[in-house]
Amino acid sequence: MIALTVLPDGLGDYHNAPLCVGCGACCMHMTLPPFDDYDDSDVEFAMLPEELKRELQVRWDSNAVGEPCCWLDLETKRCRHYEHRPVVCSRFEPGGEICREDREAVGLEPS
Long-range contacts from 90-95, C-beta under 8 angstroms, 24+ separation: 90/5, 91/5, 91/7, 92/5, 92/26, 93/7, 93/11, 93/12, 94/4, 94/5, 94/7, 94/12, 94/14, 94/17, 94/18, 94/19, 94/20, 95/12, 95/13, 95/14, 95/16, 95/17, 95/18
For the stretch 77-94, pLDDT in tens is 999 999 999 999 999 988
Give the model's pLDDT for residue 75. Answer: 94
What's the pTM? Answer: 0.78
